C-alpha cells in the first residue's frame, strides 16, 4: 500500500577529484576567516536593506496618515468650529484637532492652517481661556506649541510680502498677563478644594511658557524681525520709531517683568542671542537705549548677576559688542551704584576684556584694500571701540571708579 523509494542509510561521499592533497593549517584558517567575513557582509547587507525598507514604509505611512489628518482638520474647521457657539459646544473636538495640527504641522504645507487657528483663537480668546479650566495642563502644552510655531513663522519676515502681524498678535495675546490673571481668578472661584489651593500656589503658566520659548530661540527670532522690519535710518532714541518697534520692545521685556527665579537666565539669554553678534542700527539706536531706560525692570543687580564670572550656570561668548552693551547699560545707572556693585562691575569688565580679542587701530595702509576701497568691517569694529572709550571716559563713570579706588 505504501511505497518507499528512498534509502535507509546515507551513502558515503566519495571525491572523484583524485587523491586529496594536504592543506596547510594557515591556509585553512584564512579560508574559514574569508567565509566568515562573507557571511557577515551578507548579514549586514540584509540588515541594512531591512532598515531602509522599514524607514521608507514608515515614512510613507506617516505621510498618508498626515494627509488624512489634514483633510479631516479642514472639514471639521469648516463645519463644526466655524463660530464661537460651535467652539463652546465642541470643546473636545477643538482640543483634538489642535493636537492633530501639532502632529502633522509642516511650515511648507500648513502655514495657512496655522493662520486659521490663530484667527479662531484671537477671535474667541475669552472662550479659549474658559476652556483652560477644563484641561489646564493639556491646553498649556498646546498653547506652548502654538506659540513656538508662531515664533518660527516669524522667520518669514526675511521673505518679501510676508505677513507676520497675525503671529505677532497671537504671541502678544497668549503671553499677556491679563489672560492668565483672569484664568487664575476663574479657577479659584470655581474650585475651593485643597488640591486647587495647591494649584493656586503653583500657578505659574507664564513662567513655563517663557522658559520654553526662550530655550527654543525666541530672542534670536525677535532680533531677526527687528532688523528686517524696522527701518535702519534711525536717530538714537528710546522711543519706538514705528508701531511694530513698540510691539517688539514689549515682547522683549515681557519675560523680564515676571517675578521669577528664572529672570537672570532670561536676561542672560537675551544678551547672548541679541548682543554678542555685530550690533545693527536698530539695536544701537533704539533697542539698547530703550532697555537702558527700563531701570525698574533691568536693574543693576540683574545686569551684574548675568555677567559676573562666578555665575557658572551660563557660558557667555564674550565679544566687543557684549562689552559695549554691558558698559552702556551700567553707565546709564552709574550714579546709583553701591561700593559692592562698583567692585563687581570692575570684575565683570575684566572678565569681558580677557575674552575679547586684542584691539588694533588700523593704519592707513590696513584700512584700504588693494583697489583703494575702504574696509567697512574694520570701520564697524573701530566705531564700537571708540564708543566704549567714550563711555569709559564719561565723567560719571570716571567718578564712580575713583570713588571705589579711594575707599
Among 309, 337, 318, 321, CA closest to 397: 337
**Which pLDDT score is estimated for 374?**
40
Instruction: Using CB atoms within 10 Å of the CB of residue 78, give its burial: 0 to 12 exposed, 13 to 18 middle, 19+ buried.
Output: exposed
Q: Can you give the pLDDT at residue 346?
A: 84
In whole angstroms, what is the distance from residue 24 CA to residue 344 CA? 80
Closest CA to 327 of 394, 241, 272, 407: 394
In the chain, count H helices and then E strands: 20, 0
295: left (phi over 0), alpha (psi -120 to 50) or beta: alpha
Alpha-carbon distance values, 42 to 29, 35, 55 (Å): 20, 11, 20
- The backbone torsions φ and ψ at residue 23, rounded to the nearest 5 degrees and listed phi first, read -100, 140
- Provide the pLDDT for residue 56: 95
Residue 2's pLDDT is 61
Per-residue pLDDT at 195: 46
Q: pLDDT digits over 119-171, tens only?
A: 888 888 877 877 887 788 888 899 999 999 999 999 887 776 678 889 999 99
| Distant-in-sequence contacts of 246-252, Cβ < 8 A, 24+ apart | 247/168, 247/172, 248/222, 249/286, 249/287, 249/290, 250/172, 251/168, 251/171, 251/172, 251/175, 251/222, 252/219, 252/222, 252/287, 252/291
Q: Which of 131, 139, 148, 271 is nearest to 187 (CA)?
A: 131
Query: Which of the pair, 313 or 261, is modelled with greater confidence?
Result: 261
**Average pLDDT score over residue span 28-50:** 93
Q: Who wins on pLDDT, 196 or 29?
A: 29
Name which residue leads in pLDDT, 299 or 16. 299
Q: 182: alpha, beta or left, given left = phi > 0 and alpha = psi -120 to 50?
A: alpha
According to the model, what pLDDT value does residue 248 have?
93
pLDDT tens string 55-66: 999 999 999 999
pLDDT tens digits for range 296-332: 898 888 888 888 877 655 566 778 888 889 888 888 7
Exposed / middle / buried, residue 322 (Cβ in 10 Å: 0-12, 13-18, 19+): buried
CB atoms inside a 10 Å sphere around CB 296:
7
Cβ burial of 6 (10 Å; 0-12, 13-18, 19+) is exposed
pLDDT over 50 at 104, yes or no? yes
Q: What pLDDT is recorded for position 395? A: 80
Distance CA 272, CA 316 (A): 7
Q: At what angle do helices 91-104 and 125-132 cross, to 10 degrees?
A: 100
Rounded Cα distance between 355 and 357, Å, is 6
Q: Which range in 94-108, 358-372, 387-401 is most confidently predicted, on average pLDDT?
A: 94-108
Mean pLDDT of the chain: 81
C-alpha cell, 203 = 500657578
Q: Taking 80 as the threshold, does the pLDDT of residue 34 lie above it?
A: yes
114 CB neighbour count, 10 Å cutoff: 20
Could you tell me if residue 259 is left (phi over 0), alpha (psi between -120 and 50 degrees) or otherwise beta?
beta
DSSP letter, residue 17: S
pLDDT digits (tens, 9 = 90+) for 81-99: 777 677 777 788 888 999 9
Q: What is the pLDDT of residue 38?
A: 94
Q: Residue 203 — pLDDT band, cuts 50, 70, 90?
A: low
3-state secondary structure of 364: coil
- Tell me what the mean pLDDT of segment 270-296 comes to: 90
**Would you say 254 and 211 are in contact if contact means Cβ atoms under 8 Å apart?**
no
Backbone angles phi, psi at 374, to 5 degrees: -75, 145
Stated pTM of the model: 0.79
Is the pLDDT reported for residue 407 higher than 80? no
Check whether 53 has a pLDDT greater than 90: yes
Higher pLDDT, 151 or 27: 151
Q: Secondary structure of the chain: what % helix, strand, coil (to 5)? A: 70, 0, 30
Query: CA-CA distance, 52 to 55, in Å (whole number)?
Result: 5
- 15: how many CB neighbours lie within 10 A of its CB? 7
pLDDT score of 204 more than 50: yes
pLDDT at 51 over 90: yes
Give the three-state DSSP class for 374: strand
Mean pLDDT confidence for 186-193: 54
- Smallest CA-to-CA distance from 217 within 306, 171, 155, 264 is with 155
Amino acid at each position: 500500500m505504501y511505497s518507499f523509494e528512498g534509502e535507509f542509510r546515507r551513502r558515503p561521499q566519495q571525491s572523484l577529484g583524485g587523491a586529496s592533497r594536504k592543506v596547510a593549517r594557515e591556509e585553512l584558517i584564512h579560508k574559514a576567516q574569508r567565509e566568515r567575513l562573507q557571511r557577515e557582509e551578507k548579514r549586514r547587507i540584509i540588515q541594512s536593506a531591512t532598515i531602509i525598507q522599514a524607514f521608507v514604509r514608515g515614512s510613507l505611512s506617516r505621510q498618508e496618515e498626515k494627509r488624512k489628518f489634514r483633510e479631516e482638520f479642514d472639514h471639521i474647521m469648516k463645519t463644526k468650529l466655524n463660530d464661537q457657539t460651535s467652539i463652546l459646544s465642541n470643546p473636545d473636538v477643538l482640543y483634538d484637532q489642535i493636537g492633530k495640527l501639532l502632529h502633522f504641522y509642516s511650515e511648507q504645507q500648513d502655514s495657512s492652517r496655522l493662520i486659521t487657528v490663530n484667527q479662531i483663537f484671537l477671535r474667541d480668546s475669552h472662550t479659549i481661556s474658559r476652556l483652560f479650566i477644563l484641561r489646564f495642563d493639556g491646553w498649556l502644552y498646546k498653547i506652548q506649541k502654538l506659540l513656538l510655531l508662531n515664533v518660527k513663522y516669524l522667520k518669514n519676515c526675511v521673505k518679501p510680502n510676508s505677513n507676520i502681524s497675525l503671529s505677532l498678535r497671537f504671541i502678544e495675546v497668549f503671553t499677556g498677563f491679563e489672560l492668565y490673571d483672569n484664568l487664575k481668578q476663574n479657577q479659584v472661584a470655581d474650585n475651593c478644594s485643597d488640591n486647587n489651593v495647591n494649584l493656586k500656589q503653583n500657578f505659574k503658566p507664564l513662567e513655563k511658557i517663557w522658559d520654553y520659548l526662550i530655550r527654543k530661540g525666541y530672542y534670536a527670532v525677535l532680533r531677526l524681525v527687528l532688523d528686517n522690519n524696522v527701518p535702519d535710518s534711525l536717530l538714537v532714541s528710546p522711543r519706538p520709531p514705528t508701531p511694530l518697534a513698540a510691539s517688539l520692545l514689549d515682547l522683549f521685556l515681557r519675560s523680564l517683568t515676571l517675578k521669577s527665579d528664572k529672570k537672570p537666565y532670561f536676561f542672560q539669554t537675551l544678551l547672548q542671542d541679541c548682543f554678542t553678534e555685530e550690533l545693527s542700527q536698530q539695536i544701537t539706536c533704539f533697542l539698547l537705549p530703550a532697555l537702558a531706560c527700563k531701570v525698574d525692570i533691568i536693574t543693576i543687580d540683574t545686569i551684574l548677576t548675568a555677567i559676573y564670572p562666578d555665575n557658572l550656570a551660563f557660558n557667555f561668548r564674550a565679544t566687543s559688542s557684549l562689552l559695549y552693551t554691558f558698559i552702556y547699560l551700567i553707565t546709564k545707572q552709574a550714579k546709583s551704584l553701591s561700593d559692592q556693585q562698583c567692585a563687581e562691575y570692575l570684575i565683570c569688565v575684566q572678565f569681558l576684556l580677557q575674552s575679547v580679542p586684542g584691539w588694533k587701530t588700523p593704519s592707513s595702509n590696513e584700512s584700504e584694500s588693494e583697489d583703494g576701497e575702504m574696509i567697512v568691517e574694520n570701520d564697524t569694529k573701530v566705531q564700537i571701540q571708540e564708543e566704549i572709550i567714550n563711555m569709559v571716559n564719561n565723567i560719571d563713570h570716571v567718578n564712580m571708579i575713583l570713588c571705589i579706588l579711594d575707599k
